[in-house]
Chain A
């Protein structure tokens, strides 16, 4: 079974500041990990994914995340926040165990606000 914990339901940063959104997972098998973003009135958009290749994953819009197995973490970072980054961010895990099913387990989400 898999689970995801996102620490902090709401993170507020100033424009230009570092963005750090935390995600910890548990999985009984090697995981695939994802970050999705949801802008207001839009669907879930994939930001980046970890699929057992490089542990530092670069995504769209300048975001990146590092898979740390020892810490069971997959925190999302961006060096400099932009106003357009304001959105809700979801971390998700899927078991890397083959098969045709694709059940993602999501965290509760973190709402990012960016202050001018």
Chain B
């Protein structure tokens, strides 16, 4: 069964370092998302991406965050200068088409900022 895959499963980094989290969405999906879950808190929407541009972003998604789809298969989330409060589980998700109601999530990438 097709699935969304994310790498790395766990990354530890020093505060101020750049981090790139990678996602390979399901191949025929058109809409891509990043969510995150800080330990003990809710899963929160970060950003949605369609047709090579951001379609919506939350207030969490500030200038330190960026997304891109560099090669038509990968979908990446970059954090330019990590802060302690960026420590969280980051989930990538994809969706087939407009009106498709199911989001397919990856297993998540756990980011620990020291």
Contact = CB atoms under 8 A, between A and B. Distances in A.
Interface of B: 3-4, 6, 31, 33, 35, 40-45, 48, 50, 55-56, 58, 91, 93, 95, 98, 101-108
Nearest to A92: B43
Contacts of A103: 45, 48, 56, 58
Interface of A: 32, 36, 41-46, 49, 51, 90, 92, 100-109
Nearest to B106: A43
Contacts of A107: 42
Contacts, number: 56
A12 B31 CA distance: 37
A43 B107 contact: yes
Contacts of B108: 43
Given A36-B105, A43-B4, A102 B42 contact: no
B31 A100 contact: yes
B105 A41 contact: no
